Amino acid sequence: MSVSIHPTAIIEAGAVIGDGCDIQAGAIIGRHVVLGERVVVYPYAVVGGDPQHLKFDRATASGVRIGSGTVIREHATVNRAAQPGGETIVGERCFLMANSHVGHDCVLADDVVLANNVMLAGHVHVGAFTFIGGGAGVHQFARIGESAMVSGLSRISRDLAPFTITAERDEVSGLNLVGLKRRGFSREAIGELKKAFRAVYFGAGNIRELAAAQLAGGGYTTVEARRFLEFFGGGKRGFSRATRVVAEDTHD
């Protein structure tokens, strides 16, 4: 495979460009950036720029790793890690639309979509197959689980569990059933996810303790339901909360 680099693109010494990449006009690829195969970087995107951190030492050696098949559209920015030897990571087949921002030390799993103007602060983790709508903002250190859907203009300041939908400010409205069916989840898995969702979000007590109790004694057999429950065992920011009326009306 060949690599296509427009004459006005800037690739700093030390960057690694994979086979089949297309670096378009005015794009900037910083040092210590590694692009997998077939990555497309559209005009004026900046990959590997310095972290937006007031105390950052520009002499710090850190980088960015972009997975194969990822597309980075116009004016998108992916900042390098703030910690020495660290990497900001974007997985395979991700789609970062125009003007989206991935802050330092973020980790995006495979098949993540960031719509236009999405803002991810530093140290955000996003699970596979997640879609984040246009203009949404995500607080630093927040976790978003796999196959979640975040509505446009949402504000995420707490952890968002896998397989859920959220809107406004940390308001979970139910399971991302359309996304789960598109991924081919079995009826059994979806049924167990519904059971786990109700037990965790509408049970009486601490949400971490409710999830742990379900994981230990709820009789769940599918890996999807267990991953949903295991999510509540980690993180430091607390969790987005469900709106009972919307969730029950939509998913009973």
CB neighbours of residue 40 within 10 Å: 19
The dihedral sign for the CA sequence 152, 157, 162, 166 = negative
Residue tagged active-site, from 105, 111, 159, 170:
105
DSSP structure string for 84-101: TT-EEEE-TT-EE-TT-E
Is residue 217 part of the annotated active site? The answer reads no
Determine the residue type at 167: A
Q: Which is nearest to 60 in space by CA: 28, 36, 87?
A: 87
Q: Which of 75, 104, 123, 125 is catalytic?
A: 104
Collapsing DSSP states into helix, strand and coil, what is residue 163? coil
CB 215 within 8 A of CB 199: no
Q: In 3-state terms, what secondary structure has residue 236?
A: coil
> Which among 122, 133, 174, 179 is annotated as catalytic?
122
Alpha-carbon span 65 to 125, nearest angstrom? 14
Active site residue 105: yes
Look up 104 and say whether it is catalytic: yes
Who's near 252: CB < 8 A, 6+ residues apart?
A: none
Q: Which residues are known to be catalytic?
A: 104-105, 122
